[in-house]
Structure 1
């Protein structure tokens, strides 16, 4: 029973303290996270066709590799 009384005392004491206020509403934090992930997705999407931009280089190296096998 002593452990139960200790637990109740600890819980009531922690509820009595007020948590630190946030600098923004919680939805603002979610909005910032969505914006950051959208920006990172756009940066990743912008690199989708980089290998095909240098077709002359890849065709020469592919021919050199194919000739050896």
Structure 2
């Protein structure tokens, strides 16, 4: 069989079923994966403020070590 014959036979074949229902699981899996990633992202929310006492103590102890160059900070 030639390549053109195979393409013609594939075009003639009838597709049974609903293509949308066959591919629905891809969307469901994607939603589950993105929801899990969102939960991981939200778990890191406000982490910097959990240790603000240590950060302030470090900033006070090393206040002279910071070089203020012309960046406006």
TM class by smaller structure: 0.5 to 0.7
Report the TM-score when normalising by structure 1: 0.61
Indicate the residue corresponding to 2:58 in structure 1. Answer: 61
**Gaps (5+ residues) in structure 1?**
1-5, 18-23
Unaligned runs of 5+ in 2: 14-20, 67-73
2:8 is aligned, of 9, 12, 33, to: 12
| Count of aligned pairs between the two proteins | 58
More helix by share: 1
User: Over the residues paired in the alignment, what is the CA RMSD in angstroms?
Assistant: 2.6
TM-score, normalized by length of structure 2?
0.58
